[in-house]
Amino acid sequence: MSSILTNTSSMVALQTLKTINTNLSKTQDEISTGKSVASARDNAAVWAISKVMEADVKGFKGISDSLSLGGATVAVARQAAETITDLLTEVKGKIVAAQEDNVDRAKIQTDIDKLIDQINTVVGAAQFNGLNLVNGTQTTVDVLASLDRQSNGTVVTSSISITAQDLSTGAYAAKGVLAGSDGASTNNDTAGFQLDNGSGTGTIVIDDSTDAFAAGDKVTITIGGKTASYTVSQADVDATTTADLVAVGLKNAIDALGIAGLTVDYDSGTPGTLAFTNAGTRDLTVSAQFKNAGSGGLAALSTIDVSTASGAAAALGNIETLIQTSIDAAAEFGSAQSRIDIQNTFVSKLSDALRTGIGSLVDADMEEASARLQALQVQQQLGIQSLSIANQAPQNILALFR
């Protein structure tokens, strides 16, 4: 049935053309923006997910900057520790030279003092953006390393903790706590002697009769390249037999080293005295060193005095402890820097993976969009022609009335 009031064919053609135009407009938007989901109207769920992921990518950019800054700071500290190790090795060379009697120990001591000055310069200059990890002003430094999104949507941060190392030489205060020891220095804060193989003997005396110990004070004894130490606690200070407690603590630490042929005897009847006997097959060098609480990690450098034979002997053992301190510091920084570099690489790859995921959700398939555009343009032309034909249908009814 034909009607001049209701043109069904025209309405169908019009609706079809509207659908084609809507699809064509959407395809053109995809081509112009490059996204199949450009706004929440296109796909609310996918758009919301993509925005959360984009926020995470932005956060990881800040994480990467933080890791780069932290890595640079640790690299400076590591380089300083390695340089200080080299300088301390030079100091050891001077000390070894001072063991010979036929040398000018005063000139050697002058060279050592210059090297110590250079160590102080390195420690002072080893800062990045005002942060110095080797001068004793820091304990730990946290480097922002990651953003962790939980299943409930909350976000927490995680950090890489860097342990600062104290390689400063300041704040040393001598205490005569090694008075009575074999090879004691003038200030009685270092001592050293040789234990000949077979039957060599020597004595270390812990004496607090003149200078009392404070909590945090430390006595280190190096024997044949191995080190034992004891740090004084507040409980030790509060006791009436602090020297005995320190001596017993040192004996236990030395015994734990397991040095073949070495025995260390402690007699409670002789307070604070440790008697060393070397029944082994090799000579052993013994050196003792005091470090007061609050002093720098290399503060004992100020106790090195090779102007005398006994001082040179004590310095030979003490420098080993100081070299080990700087080596440990360099190793700690090297490990931390490696960890930061690994995390920085991971964050970069993670950011790329997130961007790829976002792209798979919202980016338009340009090949498909191009093919769809051409098809829709043809459909639009046909729809316009079909609507034109449908609109002419009522005029054909006039022929029935002629």
The token duo for 358 is 């976002």
Lowest mean pLDDT among 91-95, 166-170, 303-307, 389-393: 389-393
Q: Is the pLDDT of residue 4 over 80?
A: no
What's the pLDDT score for residue 203?
92
Q: Sketch out the chain's domains with CATH numbers.
A: 47-169+331-355 (1.20.1330.10), 190-294 (3.30.70.2150)
The token duo for 291 is 């470090």
Q: Cα separations (Å) of 398 from 124, 385, 386, 390, 401? A: 104, 22, 20, 15, 5
What's the pLDDT score for residue 264?
92
What's the pLDDT score for residue 1?
64
Tell me what percent of the residues of the chain surpass a pLDDT of 70. Answer: 99
Give, rounded to a whole angstrom, the gap between the first and last alpha carbons of the chain: 19
Task: Return the bridge partners of 135, or none.
Answer: 166
What's the pLDDT score for residue 309?
82
What's the pLDDT score for residue 115?
93
Lowest mean pLDDT among 18-22, 110-114, 118-122: 18-22
Check residues 146 and 338 and name the one with the higher pLDDT.
Answer: 338
Global pTM reads: 0.71
pLDDT mean across residues, the chain: 87
Neighbours of 4 (CB within 10 A): 10
pLDDT digits (tens, 9 = 90+) for 275-284: 999 998 889 8
- Mean pLDDT confidence for 76-100: 93
Give residue 194's pLDDT band: very low, low, confident or very high (50, 70, 90). Answer: confident
Give residue 253's pLDDT band: very low, low, confident or very high (50, 70, 90). Answer: very high
What's the pLDDT score for residue 108?
93
Rounded CA-CA distance 320/328 in Å is 12
Contacts of 137 (CB under 8 A, 6+ apart): 164
Rounded CA-CA distance 130/6 in Å is 84
Q: Which of 219, 291, 217 is nearest to 253 (CA)?
A: 219
Dihedral pair phi/psi, residue 194, rounded to 5° = -105, 135
- Mean pLDDT confidence for 68-92: 94
- Mean pLDDT confidence for 11-30: 84
Check residues 393 and 107 and name the one with the higher pLDDT.
Answer: 107
Rounded CA-CA distance 320/220 in Å is 11
What's the pLDDT score for residue 239?
86
Do the strands 190-195 and 284-291 form a parallel or antiparallel pair, or are they unpaired?
antiparallel
Q: Is the pLDDT of residue 317 over 80?
A: no
Q: Is the pLDDT of residue 401 over 80?
A: no
What's the pLDDT score for residue 370?
84
Q: Is the pLDDT of residue 206 over 90?
A: yes
What's the pLDDT score for residue 399?
76
Contacts of 228 (CB under 8 A, 6+ apart): 220, 221, 222, 250, 253, 254, 256, 257
Neighbours of 395 (CB within 10 A): 9
What's the pLDDT score for residue 126?
92
- Name the 3-class secondary structure at 136: coil
One DSSP character per residue, 197-254 reads TTTEEEEEE---SSS---TT-EEEEEETTEEEEEEPPHHHHHSS-HHHHHHHHHHHHH
Q: Which of 311, 294, 326, 308 is nearest to 172 (CA)?
A: 294
**Relative orientation angle of helices 44-97 and 105-125, to the nearest 10 degrees:** 170
Q: What is the DSSP secondary structure assignment for residue 166, as one 8-state letter?
A: B
CA-only gyration radius of the chain, Å? 40
What's the pLDDT score for residue 134?
92
Tell me what percent of the residues of the chain surpass a pLDDT of 90. Answer: 31
Place of tokens 């210059």: 114
Task: Return the bridge partners of 195, or none.
Answer: 284
Q: Cα separations (Å) of 361 from 23, 44, 56, 150, 356? A: 20, 12, 15, 21, 9
Length of the chain: 402
Neighbours of 383 (CB within 10 A): 20
Lowest mean pLDDT among 139-148, 173-182, 315-324, 329-338: 315-324
Q: Is the pLDDT of residue 241 over 80?
A: yes
What's the pLDDT score for residue 335?
94
